[in-house]
A and B are shown apart, each in its own frame.
Chain A
Amino acid sequence: MKLDPITIQVMWSRLIAIVDEAASGLIRTAYTPSVKEYHDFCCALFDQKGNMLAHSTVTTAGFLGIVPAVMGNFLDSYPIDSFSSGDVLITNDPWLASGHLIDVTVAQPVFINDRVIGFALCIVHHLDMGGRMATLESKDMYEEGLKIPILKLFEGGVLNESIFEFIRANIRVPEKVLGDIRAQLIANHICSRGLINAMDEYEMTELSELSSEIVTRTETSLRKQIKNLPDGTFSNKVILPPIPGCIDQVEICVSVKIFDDEILIDYSGSSGEVDSAINCTLTMTKSYSSYPIKLALDPTVPNNAGALVPINVIAPEGSVVNCKPPRSTWGRTMISHLFPEIMFGALKNVIPDYVLAGNGGTPANEVYIHGKDVKGKSFMAIQQHSGGYGASVYYDGYSTLCFPNNTSNIPIEVTENEASIFYTKKEFIKDSGGPGHHRGGLGQEVEFCIRSIEQIPEGFVECSVRISGRTEDGSFPVTGLFGGKNGRFGGLWLNDKPVEHGVYRKLFPGDIIRFEISGGGGYNDPFKRNPVKVLADFREGYVSSKGALKDYRVVIKGLLVDEIATKSLRTDNCINKNIEP
């Protein structure tokens, strides 16, 4: 069967629609807000060789480069002829799957006429996997919780009850986690059904021709974009802010070699693996390193295996970006979320129009709360609050939008309903966006309080709050680009005292946690920003009059710009003159 271009496009879109339908199935049947609202998951569809053909558009970006590797690892353990209809595979092995135990991958073969024609796969970031709760302090994987090796969760449609028994026995909120795993089964079921229906409709019995078209077209498209770039090697080196519980200073070195239509990303020279839970497995490093290239150069072509081919990622074994078992990995996004920014830093002069300034919420904030409610029932809630998006050549950064993880906001009402806390503050931080011709998005300040002893009879809740740890004057600020200034604000306070982030802590009735998440970096010279835009920012409360004067040299009187004063200030040659009012 020879496919014509129109059929290819229709089928290609159909495959994406199928995985997005699977994602909806997951959202509608999952138990926990981190799946339903926060969308920390992915659904993907593969051909019979394990090539990824479609990836849900509702997802976190980090999974894009991971899922092909996971599927490959499944097929290494269970070759294609070892499957029967009704088989389901499962694992959360950090090295074979998505880099930390708390992500569970579930996949199944799709059968047509008793032949495997493809696979459906779904990864979810779960609430808990036992072990030490949500902390950077874990010294090895064994401390971090239950590892599920690659196993058949179902064999010929029959559940392996032992796996559910182990999960039930070893995690804090098993009913929720098992509920979410069942939702993953549903997602894969929808994906399989969708694929079978589509192939029926088009009278196809196998995917290989379509698969080859999709993958090749995507690959060719990205190669074309890379070819337009000048050949050369571009490097960047950053020292990460101190990681609580980690004695070593972590340095990431990258060199990006562009050669014809390929890119080689090399992390040689980066720090060795460490004793705290921030180590990245190679699949994780690959995913977040190839993603920014695709994003910058070829964002409109859908994501599939083809987009990964032109980009090679290498990292020395035993380094913090390619760690060996049994290193601890829970908070590996403390490093991997930074790869796009580090990559953009290396390539900013090569593709100045495609890079983003730093994002204030990178690495992503994560809040875990575990306790018992009045009925003695255990609750566990994950929240995530975002910093300001980085500005770019055409746009201001969005306020409180996350990057690169692409997750959504969990409404505070949802968390208040799930956990024994109440919010006292969630608001933009004025002047937090990095000034620039385009301004970085605003960061936010969040504050919550632990409910009274009547509502938590145990007298405490367990809590971990992770923030980026980046500060404006630290080793790795939220970078502004081309004269744009760095994003501002950041920190974590317990009852108004600054405290370490990312560690386990017991909180008691009345305790108040407050944290600030930085604004995004600005792009280009802030003195070139149109005073009208600065005025608009002032009127919205994004920028103070003092900030307008100091950062943008725009003089605001009342609700208007003092144009004469602004003009004279901006033409003033004496750049370093003190301009405090």
Chain B
Amino acid sequence: MKFNSITIQVLWNRLITIVDEAAGGLIRTAYTPSVKEYHDFCCALFDRNARMLSHSTITTAGFLGVVPGVMKQFILKYPPEKLDEGDVLITNDPWLASGHLIDVSVAQPIYYLGEIVGYALCIVHHLDMGGRMATLESKDMYEEGLKIPILKLYREGNLDPTIYAFMNANLRVPEKVLGDIRAQLVANHVCTRGLLALLEEYQMSGLEDLAQIIIERTELSLRRKISALPDGIHHCTALLPPIPSCPDRVELKAKIEINGDGVIVDWTGSSGEVAAAINGTPNILQSFTTYPFKLALDPNVPNNEGGLNPITVIAPEGCILNSRPPAATWGRTMIYHVIPEILFSALENVMPENVLGGNGGTPANEVYLHGWFNDGRSFMAIQQHSGGFGASVKFDGYSCLPFPNNTANIPVEVTENESTIVYLKKEFVQDSGGPGEMRGGLGQVVEFKVPDYVSEIIPNFIECSVRVSGRHMENCLPVSGRFGGKPGNSGGLWLNDKPVDHGIYRRIFPGDRIRFALYGGGGYGDPLKRLPEKVISDIKEGYVSNESGEIDYGVVLCEDKFEVDAEATNSLRKEIIRTRLKTMDS
């Protein structure tokens, strides 16, 4: 079938609308705020060869490079001849799907005129998958919960009750998780219906020709951008902060080879897999290594299979980024979320205008709470709070916006309604944004407590795990500033004002207070070049203190009014530059 350019664009947009409509269906039918508010999911549409054509724009970015791999694993076990109309496939295998058990992938073939024309897929990060609750301490996958191998959840429209029976038996809050899985079925159904309507309307019998064009154009566009970069080999090394419960320190090493219109990223030399829940699997590695290139070089072209092809990812089997079963994987984002930042650090001189300063909330904060209400029901709640976004060549970083995961904020009122905790504080941390010509976004401090009435509930405690970035430990991986911009500031976790290990299981009792601070983002460019008016505005908003205004930005306020003392500022900035030069000489 031959398309004209206008039809191609219309159909392409339509495919994206279909998956976003599917995402809308998911959000409206899911049970839990981590889906409805936090948006830790994705919906995607594939052609009959399992090539990804569109991916919901509401999603976490980590899934972009994951879903093509997942779909290919599904049809490897169930090729078209083993599928029937009404079949639904399911798995949460970390090595075949999205890298940890708590993500469940559900997919279905889409039949049109008796033939498979494509597939709909939906991944959701669920509340619980049994096992040890939300902890970096798990030593292997068996400790982490229930693994669902690739199975047919439905056969020709008939549910396999065994799968739900196992989930009912092995999860802490099965009614919620099964509710969310049914929402995934809804999403795939919406996706299927949307595609069939499109095929009818345009009298197409399949997607192959359109798929070919979409993928080729996307690939070509990214390749063109890569061609514009100078050829060369770049290296990066990052020693990660200590991981609680993990005796080994983790180091990531990459060799990035830009060659013509392709890039090879080779992780050889990175640390081996560890006996803590931070190990990665192939699909997630693929995803977080390709994403920063697409984002930096070609952000406007929609995401599909074509955006992955120009980047080749290599990692030796058994290294922490490409672990072997049964390594533990729950907190694999402790490693993966850092990858875009360290790739940007390695490439900042190659594409200075396309990189971001480090994000203060990377790796992402995650809070899991499991407890009981006074009517005996058990609850489970996930929260996520973000640090400050990194600054870039043209913009200050947003305050409290996550990167690279792209999830949304769960309002504190929602979590208070879902659990028994009460928030005491959720506010920006002044001066946490890394100073720079463009300032990093501000981080935040969050505090909640277990109210006294919980003492009357049986059991009288909440099971809790709070993961922060860990970058406050040993200060070995500062939240990068770029081109003279300073790193973001302040992070940590406290229980009743005492610093404690993050990412581990803990029981909290009535009166206990948990507080954590998330870093601000890294600044971009020399803070002395920041427009003094902007500094004044930051001071007015409370983002920056007077002291930091002077020390970091060299901006002096008039004594009598809230304005820049231009003369004093000028001489202070010169003084600071002189001091810098002296330090460099010595």
Contact = CB atoms under 8 A, between A and B. Distances in A.
Interface in A141-190: 142-143, 145-149, 151, 160, 162-163, 165-166, 168-172
Contact of A168 (B139, B149, B165): B149
A169 B147 contact: yes
A54 B477 CA distance: 67
B149 A146 contact: no
Contacts of A142: 130-133, 145, 170-172
B96 to A, nearest CB: 11
B143 A170 contact: no
B355 to A, nearest CB: 40
Contacts of A170: 142, 146-147
A145 B142 contact: yes
Interface string A126-144: 0000111100000100110
A169 B169 CA distance: 16
Contacts of A445: none
B160 A132 contact: no
Given A148-B169, A165-B149, A131 B142 contact: yes
Interface residues of B, number: 26
Chain B interface, DSSP helix/strand/loop, else mixed: loop
Contact of B162 (A132, A133, A139, A162): A162
A402 to B, nearest CB: 29
A146 B169 CA distance: 9
B347 interface: no
A118 B140 CA distance: 43
B151 interface: yes
Interface in A97-146: 130-133, 139, 142-143, 145-146
A516 interface: no
B148 interface: yes
Contacts of B326: 172
B166 interface: yes
A171 B140 CA distance: 11
A93 interface: yes
B159 to A, nearest CB: 11
Contacts of B143: 131-132, 143
B93 interface: yes
Contacts of A93: 169
A160 B162 contact: yes
Contacts of B142: 130-133, 145, 170-172
Contact of B166 (A145, A149, A326): A149
B246 interface: no
A139 B504 CA distance: 14
B163 interface: yes
B169 A149 contact: yes
Contacts of A166: 146, 148-149, 162, 166
B168 interface: yes
Contacts of B133: 142
A326 B131 CA distance: 12
Contacts of A168: 149
A93 B162 CA distance: 15
A166 B169 CA distance: 12
Interface in B124-167: 130-133, 139, 142-143, 145-149, 151, 160, 162-163, 165-166
A143 B149 contact: no
Interface in B505-524: 505
Contacts of B168: 149
B132 A151 contact: no
Contacts of A171: 142
A76 B408 CA distance: 47
A153 to B, nearest CB: 10
A68 B547 CA distance: 77
Contacts, number: 62
A143 B171 CA distance: 10
Contacts of A149: 165-166, 168-169
Interface string A499-515: 00000100000000000
A158 to B, nearest CB: 13
- Counting chain B CB atoms within 10 Å of each CB, the highest count among A149, A166, A326 belongs to A166
A326 B169 CA distance: 10
B170 A162 contact: no
B149 A147 contact: no
Given A93-B169, A160-B162, A169 B130 contact: no
A81 to B, nearest CB: 20
Interface string A554-579: 00000000000000000000000000
B132 A162 contact: no
A166 B153 CA distance: 13
Nearest to A135: B143
Given A143-B131, A147-B169, A162 B93 contact: no
Given A131-B143, A162-B162, A169-B148, A147 B170 contact: yes
A421 to B, nearest CB: 20
Interface string B477-501: 0000000000000000000000000
Contacts of B131: 131, 142-143
Contacts of A145: 142
A564 B99 CA distance: 80
A175 to B, nearest CB: 15
A142 B145 CA distance: 7
A88 B149 CA distance: 23
- Counting chain B CB atoms within 10 Å of each CB, the highest count among A93, A132, A170 belongs to A170
A488 B273 CA distance: 45
Given A142-B170, A160-B162, A169 B132 contact: no
Interface string B308-329: 0000000000000000001000
A139 B143 CA distance: 12
A165 to B, nearest CB: 5
A131 B151 CA distance: 21
B281 to A, nearest CB: 15
Interface in B34-65: none
A151 B169 CA distance: 11
Contacts of A131: 131, 142-143
A150 to B, nearest CB: 9
A143 B131 CA distance: 4
- Counting chain B CB atoms within 10 Å of each CB, the highest count among A132, A139, A143, A168 belongs to A143
A165 B170 CA distance: 15
A142 B171 CA distance: 7
Contacts of A160: 162
Nearest to B275: A506
Interface string B79-111: 000000000000001000000000000000000
Nearest to B165: A149
Contacts of B93: 169
Given A132-B132, A142-B131, A142-B170, A163 B162 contact: yes
Interface string A436-453: 000000000000000000
B143 to A, nearest CB: 5
A170 B149 CA distance: 9
B146 A151 contact: no
A230 B133 CA distance: 53
A133 B169 CA distance: 19
Nearest to A160: B162
A149 B167 CA distance: 10
- Counting chain A CB atoms within 10 Å of each CB, the highest count among B93, B149, B160, B162 belongs to B162
A551 B583 CA distance: 83
B169 A162 contact: no
A496 B35 CA distance: 53
Given A143-B131, A169-B147, 7 more contacts: A143-B132, A146-B146, A147-B170, A149-B169, A166-B162, A166-B166, A171-B142
28 contacts: A131-B131, A131-B142, A132-B132, A132-B142, A132-B143, A139-B505, A142-B131, A142-B133, A142-B171, A143-B131, A143-B143, A146-B146, A147-B170, A149-B165, A149-B166, A160-B162, A162-B151, A162-B166, A163-B162, A166-B162, A169-B147, A169-B148, A169-B149, A170-B142, A170-B146, A171-B142, A172-B142, A326-B172
Nearest 4 A/B pairs, CB to CB: A162-B162, A149-B169, A169-B149, A130-B142
